[in-house]
Structure 1
Amino acid sequence: MGTVHDLLVARGKQGALEAGIERPVVEAASQYLSDEDSALAFAYSGWAQCALPHKRLADDAPWSITSEKVRLMVEPGRRPIGEGQEYEFIGVPFGSHARLILLFLQTEALRTSSREIELGGSLRQWLGRIGVSVGGMTGKSVRDQAERISRCRLTFHLATSGSRQVGLVNQTIVDRAIFIEEGDGRQGRLNLETAKLSEGFFEQLQRHPVPIEEAAIKALNNNAPGLDIYLWLAYRLHSLSSDRLVTWKALKMQFGTGFKEMFHFKPRFTSSLALAMAVYPDAKLEVTEQGVVLKPSRSPVQPKVHALPSR
């Protein structure tokens, strides 16, 4: 158990804050340790190596990101305008809500062993369980991200030996979606009621799932960088047989495409890394001048029962 978790168990939140631990890290770790729900979620391992953008891009802009072994390209989808033959780009998915919707889709698909997923109330109930109230601007954001996910196309290029590559070429995440439109035309609201994962995406998810904890997702539900790093650690750490250095250059390629300079990226990454470790107590790593040294660790999916002091 890491320092923040030891401090929380021994001295409570105030004691951890007095010891110099940043408040967001203390809050995330406290919420995680206090959550007795042992429910699991799942994600395709490709998302643990390459993720969606954190912020909105231009509606017609594609998204590309490269990690050590995976390259991801996401192309924005289009939707019809009015009754004519015109279409408009709606942009690639982005931010924490897009990640949460994807986690729900993947978790439900594996839980039911089916590509067909009933949404509507089920998605709202799950989001509520992880602390996201779907109403007002949040509800509008969730509907927007659900439509972006349903219409976008993606390619995962998976590196193999030599120069050969295999990938999910021109693969949609969702094969079929049913929207209920409220209002008229461009001003209407689209509610996604049912979705069917594409066969290729579902097959990859079944072959390469990464189990994670709902309690961790709940503690990071509004922090896209923290969610990305947590999923990455959940995928990498438990499979290591020895220490592995990931250089700052490699980390910036995977997690810092929005930063021009390394000196801007490093402090933001280390802050997000601390948040991810706050909900992964068994994570072992070391931040060095060369990068981050990953160390063999237990999977994050472990039973936990901790009684935190009330002070």
Structure 2
Amino acid sequence: MAEVHQLILDYGVDTARTLSSSKLDRQCLDTAVAVMQDDRFDLNLLHSGFALTALPHRNTKELVWERVGGQNGEIKLHVESGFGANKQPVGLPYGSIARLILIHLSTEAVANNSRIVELGSSMRAFMRRMGIAPGGKSFSMLREQSMKISLCNLTFFNKREKDTVISKGSFVKNAVIFDNTDERQMRFMQDTVELDETFFKSLTDHPLPLRESAIKQLSGRSTALDLYIFLSYRLHVLERPTPVSWASLYHQFGAGSASKRIFKQGFKNPLQLALAAYPEANVEINENGLILNPSESPVPKTHPWAKRLKLV
């Protein structure tokens, strides 16, 4: 258990707040309190490939995006920008909003065992639960990232001992893209998207459970969100302490950083936030990188979905 969680248990929330001396300390405290007080254990789901690879954090001019992850580079994500009706590239999905859209689509698809996901009220309800207002800039970002996700091409390469499995297609097979539609009109629309068949099969074969209360606390911080997803995937299956080098961390999480040195300087803050959202995590940081220690899953084995999600 991280220091912030022990502080709360030893002294209580109010005293812990008085001992929080920086903005980051207060953010970690608020995150830890929200997760520790969550007794509903509502789940979100995501394709486990995104625990080892990730989309861009910021807008990029690149039209092709590749990331390799895993202990031995066994997973590779390849994303290509799609094209709009004007035959111009729309760009790659990026940032926390794109990640939240994928989490929502994945959760609804697996929960209902259906490739058809309703975009209207369920998406709005999820975004409200994440603390994202439905109008203005948030609506524009939601629309933009939905379009990029709907049009891009996706390939996961999973390198196994004797072969490589290639899952090629897109996130979404059929989608409705709203042109010049404001958020007031959006509330009356109940359109759906149909997930790509290959992506849906891969998703249902490899769903990663995540605590919704943790996702909410990290919803505006894409690097912290990626780290939480990574730790939720790795820690509970470990049998022994496992080092992860700075080179490996930079390769997986350093998109947008000019150098490994700059990446290392900015790594501690999102890591602390991710750990605050995962009370069971046992992770050490040193001059060589991280040491991941065997930890309980953030989703309890008594959860109704535990057997379905292979937690037991």
Say whether the fold is shared (TM-score over 0.5).
Answer: yes
1:19 Cα offset (Å): 5.5
- The aligned residue for residue 194 of structure 2 is 196
CA distance 1:103–1:44, change in 2 (3 Å): same
Worse-matched range after superposition: 90-99 or 21-30: 21-30
- The aligned residue for residue 308 of structure 1 is none
1:258 Cα offset (Å): 1.7
Residue 76 (str. 1) matches residue 81 (str. 2) = yes
Contact conserved, 2:121 with 2:190, CA < 8 A, in 1? no
Q: Cα deviations across residues 152-201 of structure 1 (Å, max 9, x unaligned)?
A: 01111112126x422213x1110111234336xxxxx9x89311111111
Question: What are the ranges of 5 or more consecutive residues in structure 1 without an aligned counterpart?
Answer: 82-86, 184-188, 305-311
- The aligned residue for residue 138 of structure 1 is 138
Contact conserved, 1:28 with 1:275, CA < 8 A, in 2? yes
Contact conserved, 1:237 with 1:298, CA < 8 A, in 2? yes
Contact conserved, 2:58 with 2:94, CA < 8 A, in 1? yes
- The aligned residue for residue 65 of structure 1 is 67
Q: Cα deviations across residues 34-63 of structure 1 (Å, max 9, x unaligned)?
A: 3343210111110111010000012x6221
Q: Alignment partner of 2:177: what SS?
A: strand
Q: Alignment partner of 1:52: what SS?
A: coil
Q: Alignment partner of 1:233: what SS?
A: helix
1:285 Cα offset (Å): 1.4
Q: Alignment partner of 1:73: what SS?
A: strand
CA distance 1:13–1:233, change in 2 (3 Å): farther
- The aligned residue for residue 10 of structure 1 is 10
Question: What are the ranges of 5 or more consecutive residues in structure 2 without an aligned counterpart?
Answer: 303-312
- The aligned residue for residue 247 of structure 2 is 249
Q: Alignment partner of 1:42: what SS?
A: strand
Corresponding letter in the other structure for 2:26: R
How many residues align structurally?
291
- Structure number with the higher strand fraction is 1
Contact conserved, 1:177 with 1:192, CA < 8 A, in 2? no
Normalization by structure 1: what TM-score? 0.88
* Aligned structure 1 segments of 4 or more residues deviating by more than 6 angstroms: none
Using the alignment, how far apart are the partners of 1:181 and 1:61 within structure 2? 22
Q: Cα deviations across residues 107-160 of structure 1 (Å, max 9, x unaligned)?
A: 000110000111111100111112111110011101110111000011111121
- The aligned residue for residue 84 of structure 1 is none
- The aligned residue for residue 278 of structure 1 is 276
Q: Cα deviations across residues 49-78 of structure 1 (Å, max 9, x unaligned)?
A: 1010000012x6221111132111111111
CA distance 1:19–1:125, change in 2 (3 Å): closer
Using the alignment, how far apart are the partners of 1:17 and 1:104 within structure 2? 36
- The aligned residue for residue 220 of structure 1 is 218
Using the alignment, how far apart are the partners of 1:202 and 1:13 within structure 2? 45
Using the alignment, how far apart are the partners of 1:257 and 1:54 within structure 2? 7
- The aligned residue for residue 104 of structure 2 is 104
Corresponding letter in the other structure for 2:167: L
Contact conserved, 2:97 with 2:141, CA < 8 A, in 1? yes
1:10 Cα offset (Å): 3.2
Q: Percent identity between the aligned chains?
A: 36
- The aligned residue for residue 166 of structure 1 is 165
Aligned-residue Cα RMSD (Å) equals 2.2
Normalization by structure 2: what TM-score? 0.87
Contact conserved, 2:118 with 2:190, CA < 8 A, in 1? no
Q: Alignment partner of 1:246: what SS?
A: strand
Contact conserved, 1:180 with 1:193, CA < 8 A, in 2? no
Q: Alignment partner of 1:53: what SS?
A: coil
